[in-house]
Structure 1
Amino acid sequence: MIKTTYLLFTLLCSISIFGQTTITTTITPQHQEIYGSKISIIAPKEFAIATSFLGFQQAETNSSVLIMDIPGPFAEVSKGLTKENLLKQGVQVETIESVILNGVPGVLITAEQTAYDVVFRKYSLAFGTDKESILINGIAPKGNLELEQAVKDALLSTVYHADKVLTPLDSVDFEISTEGTDFVFAKSMSNMLVYNRDGKIPSETDDKASLVVAKAFSKVEIADKKEFATNRIKMLPVQITKINAVVPIVVHGLSGYEITAEGVDRKTGKKEQAYQVMLFVDKSYYILFGSSEADFENNLRLFKKLIRTFKLK
């Protein structure tokens, strides 16, 4: 679970808890149901539905409201919400409140973070049950008080549909086929799908083989795609010790780079195989990452077979 969640984000955090605030929300005509999630929310004025993540965005100000599904019960996830974790991401916490959202426990964090030489006000609402956790991040340029408040108000309008049954494969704009393999769908998290042999997170098979398929959350200017892909694999949970090959690849009309590498798990030190394909489209990209702790040759063949079924819907 920890490794898979790390691929998407390091979770947010806090310094201390001040009291407890009760948030009571009900569905209104202004609420919009976020397809692929259990959340309905009132979008800030002049925000559009995001195209690369679950939520809303205002492109001209780089403001956004982003919804993430985090694997694991909130009681466990909340233990990872530490000041140290947040500081590693360059986020400065100002306050944190313990909240109850329509009977569901959570925390509301107020912070700031610098990105692209711009200081952003950042609000994070994290909550959940004994089965799942939700994280909603809202950002706006610091100093634009009206926009800051609009983003915060959006988070505070959240309605959580706990009993809603999701069809996780419908929440992304891509697909792969596991036909003819022993891999199965395991988990959906925001723009990411996870596949492995037992459908469990984390996998309990001997080789821990898994494939993560994800879409980038934001647009990015990439001058050197090969260099970008090579640097990206070095940021993953597998600490790369040797890159064996970096070669161009085209999959269903999308071009990019295929990387095979060797490494060790950053936490356990166990030897791992790493396989990454990054495919580029417009100013965004898709990343497909396979890893295993054993049976490297067979798993590499499997990863390559799965990757070549990737296509946009």
Structure 2
Amino acid sequence: MRLRTMCCVLLLAGFAVLAQEPVKPAEPPKPVQVPGTFVEMNQPAGFEKATSFTGFMNRALNASIMVTVLPEPYSKTIANYTKEKLEARNETLFNAGPATFGAAPGQLLVATMKANNASYAKIYGIFGENGQSVVVTVTVAEASAKEPGVWDTLIGTVRSARISPDVFLGKPYAVKFAAPIAFPRRLDDGVMATNVEKPIDLTKLLYFFIAKRVNPVKVEDPEAFGRELLEKMPQVKGVQVTGVKKVQLNGLPGCELTGVASYSTTGKPCLVYLTILPAELTRYFILQGIAPVEREPGSGIEGDDAAIFKTFSTLAGTFRRKSS
């Protein structure tokens, strides 16, 4: 009887377990934008946005995660993190090896440092893309690094860093790229796009560029200012403006200029497009396009000159301002 009762209890317990909903695995943390940058990474629990540097901090752990974006190629940046260079900064390299950050290859380094009679552990994640580099630096008190789970969390945080696929992340503007100008890339001072994924010779491609810049004085006359910029444009020479039109994009009045010129490097004829949108104070938005007049077969550039100008103008028409 007791055996039968025990079997019934176990059987009922088994049914109860089967009846329970399966435990859902915890969702992985979602990357957040590091304020003011185009870098995304996990923000560990207990860390808050720093106020004196770009990144996050945890006062209880005496730990910081600092993100630095440098306008230089990865090869130049990583050269500053050799054993000898770290020793010159009073740091001892403990370990280093290749790592991947999003789609960008890089290096993961671990070092130690002593400062103000205290010992610290440091983690570096260094990677880059398109002539720009990112350095993620974790500094944590040695005692805190030994607490359960802290070190693994910090390593995972550094490994989660990546360059956002959104080329406009951290920019106060955006446009909607679409064919044929469908391949954008982030630059230090703006965003460019072409009609091929891997541009080699820009004089044979559709080229579009957008940025927000500062002028010494407020732009009162966008047409005159646009003409001045066209004359100073380093990619071209001998600009002749053939069309001028007033525009209003995302609430900003401005001027659209079109014309012809020659490439500075080859001397071959090209089309030039420029929209100037004066913004707050002395700032302004610039939307610029260049295309060859002599289009080679298979270049992916279709239509006559008017169609090319329309492509640039349509793309500029998608312009919008944003807060970050």
TM-score by length of 1: 0.50
For 1:133, the aligned partner's letter is: G
Contact 1:171 1:191 in 2 (8 A): no
- 2:174 aligned partner, one-letter code: E
The answer (yes or no) to whether the contact 2:182–2:196 under 8 Å persists in 1 is yes
Q: Which residue does the alignment assign to 1:310?
A: 319
Q: How far 1:272 sits from its partner (Å)?
A: 0.6
* Residue in 1 that maps onto 2:115: none
Name the amino acid aligned to 1:165.
Answer: I
Change (3 A) 1:132 1:247: closer
Farther off after superposition, 166-175 or 254-263: 166-175
Give the deviation of 1:265 after TM superposition: 0.7
Per-residue CA deviations over 1:97-132 (Å, capped at 9, x if unaligned) read x994223999xxxxxxxxxxxxxxxxxxxxx97854
Shift in CA distance, 69/257, structure 1 to aligned 2, threshold 3 Å: same
Q: Paired residue for 1:215?
A: 212
Q: In 1, are the aligned partners of 2:213 and 2:284 still within 8 Å (CA)?
A: yes
Question: Could you tell me the percent identity over the aligned residues?
Answer: 16
Q: In the TM superposition, what are the counterparts of 1:114-129 in structure 2 within 5 Å? A: none
Q: CA deviation at 1:37?
A: 4.9
Any stretches of 5+ residues in structure 2 without a counterpart? 1-33, 41-50, 55-67, 86-125, 135-157, 294-303
Does structure 1 retain, via aligned residues, the 8 Å contact 2:175–2:319?
yes
Gaps of 5+ in 1: 1-31, 39-45, 50-65, 79-97, 107-127, 137-159
Q: Which residue of 2 aligns with 1:257?
A: 255
Offset at residue 207 of structure 1 (A): 4.2
Question: 1:165-213 CA distances to partner (integer Å, 9 max, x unpaired)?
Answer: 333221212111234x322132111341112211223467x94111111
Report the Cα distance in structure 1 between the residues aligned to 2:184 and 2:222, rounded to whole angstroms: 30
Who is 1:297 aligned against? 306
Residue of structure 1 aligned with 2:82, choices 93, 96, 103: 103
Q: Is the 8 A contact 1:240 1:261 kept in 2?
A: no
Aligned mates of 2:272, 2:81 — CA distance in 1 = 43
| Helix, strand or coil at the partner of 1:302 | helix
Within the candidate set 18, 34, 37, 1:35 is matched to 37
CA drift at 1:245: 2.1
Q: 1:225 corresponds to which letter in structure 2?
A: P
1:248 counterpart SS class: strand
Are 1:288 and 2:257 counterparts? no
* 1:234 alignment counterpart: 231
Q: 1:224 aligns with which of 196, 221, 224?
A: 221
Shift of 1:273: 0.3
Task: Describe the SS at the equivalent of 1:170.
Answer: coil
Query: Does structure 1 retain, via aligned residues, the 8 Å contact 2:244–2:256?
Result: yes
- Give the alignment's TM-score, normalised by structure 2: 0.49
